[in-house]
Structure formats: C-alpha cells, structure tokens
Amino acid sequence: MTFTISITKSGFNPSSVTVGVGDTVTWTNADTVSHQVESKSAGFVSPVLKPGETYSFVYAKAGRYAYQDKAVKKFKGTVTVQKPAEAATVTQRASPALVVYGATVTLSGAVSSKRSGESVTVFAQPYGQTSFAAVGSAISGSDGGWSYLVKPKLRTVYEARWKPAAQGATATSSQASVRVRPQVGFRVKASSGRVVTFFTKARGVRSFAGKFVYFQRKNAFGRWVSLRKVTLTPTSSATFRVRLLSGRSRVRMFMPAAQTGPGYVAGISRTLTLAR
C-alpha cells in the first residue's frame, strides 16, 4: 500500500502517518520551491525535489521514524510502522485416537488469544459423509484452552473453528481422525469341565448379521491362534461351545476388518483367562 504526503509551503501534510511493514510512503513537492526529505532513523535522504517531483521509500521494519525537510528544518513529521497483525489460530487434538464403539473421545486445544469466553465450534465428518457438520461448541477457559466430548460411531474426522470475539477471520484447526472398532462382547455362558459355552455379540452403527468372528487362544509364544470361525446370527450374536485344553487358557474373539465393514477397523473383545 502507498501513502502520500504533500510538501506544502506550510509543511508536511499530513505530518504523521501510520503504515504497515512493507508499505510505501511517497512525498510529493506541492510547493513552488525545492525541498529535500531526510530521515536519520530510517536511513534515507531524498534527492532535492523540485516542484511537482516525488520521492518514495519502503518501510521494511516496524518502528517510529522521524523525518524532516533539509531545506526548511522546522518542517518535521513521523512515520509509524506497525507489525502485521498475527493471524488467529486454534489447535485441536483427539484422545484417544482409537476407540471402541460407544466410547468417548476428548477433543481439546487452545485459541491463540489465550482469552476465556471464546466460542470454539466443533465440526465432524463421519465416514461416508462428504462434508463437515457442526456437532457442538466449547467455551475457552482462562488460558484459552477448550475441550469437548464426542462419541464417534464410525471413523470420524474432526476440526475446530474459532472466530475471535474481538475481530479477525475464522481460524480452522488441523484435522484429527478418530478410528473406531465395533464393540465385541464376549463372556462365558456356561461350563462343564473343559467344555465351555461362550456368548459373543458385535455392536456398531449397523447390523453384523452373517459376518463372522474368530475364537482365538494365546499360545505359549504369545501369539493369538484362531481355533474356530463363528458366524453371527441376525441379532449380530452367537452362542458356541469349545473344549479347552487342560490348564490355563487365555481366549478372545477377533473380528477382521473385512468383516467389520467400511468405517471400522478390526474388532477385538476383552481377554478371558480360564483354568480347566
């Protein structure tokens, strides 16, 4: 941006201007005699300006710079150069970034003003959606920090948006993606010696009828070994019997990502420790 100052028979008009870093100030000799502009603080001396001639200087650093007319020393002025306003920012993080269906995730961050009472709007884009939609808002605390609880039903991307109460454009945080496992329930329904009847049920935003899960046992090397494939009924559940080895067994149910479907990662139940 360019700011113009006229040199008249009565002095500089205007005698003081406020500009930004990188702006240009142009002095135009509007008098009938010659003048010369000098600024020791800014480090420039113009050529002698005849009537109608101009001189320009670009201010690259913030500060307050005095100048005067070398020909008429009582003619003085100042140029105040302001730093560019810092853009408002808002941060966001998600914890945890991987949850089981039905669990809560904490979104948190801070606004750059560090002011309390600022409204931060949380937007979400669940798997399969093509755009973000507002799901709620949080109010910043004394240090500018904010937090908001969400329960993603599928893999969901979140972002926070903040429009400073004072002024400025809306700031948008980086995106945080939260992955979701279906909930795989697993319990002992009955037992008789080494024969154990188990019950398992998968829960999510959709039915898992016809999908299958693996009954797994942890071997002596610490690896999970699939012993049986169990197909889920129309209620997304199944009851089945297994004859366990003698001694202690650590068992669980595992649902591959190919069975959980779009928007979910593999499902894993809790681990049961049984002694037979």
Using CA of residue 164, residue 170, residue 171, residue 172, what is the dihedral sign? positive
First to last CA, the chain: 84
Contact between 38 and 57 (Cβ < 8 Å): no
The whole domain housing 209 covers 183-275
Do residues 35 and 119 share a domain? no
Do residues 162 and 202 share a domain? no
Residue 119 inside a domain? The answer is yes
What does the pLDDT look like over 100-146, one tens digit per residue?
Answer: 999 999 999 999 989 999 999 999 999 999 999 999 999 999 899 99
User: Looking at residue 167, what is its pLDDT?
Assistant: 66
What does the pLDDT look like over 146-166, one tens digit per residue?
Answer: 999 999 999 999 999 999 876
CATH number at residue 75: 2.60.40.420
Query: Against a cut of 0.85, is the pTM above it?
Result: no
User: Looking at residue 86, what is its pLDDT?
Assistant: 77
Residue 154 inside a domain? The answer is yes
Domain stop point among 82, 116, 140: 82
Do residues 6 and 40 share a domain? yes
- pLDDT surpasses 80 at 45: yes
What does the pLDDT look like over 81-109, one tens digit per residue?
Answer: 998 877 889 999 999 999 999 999 999 99
Do residues 101 and 175 share a domain? yes
Domain stop point among 82, 110, 135: 82
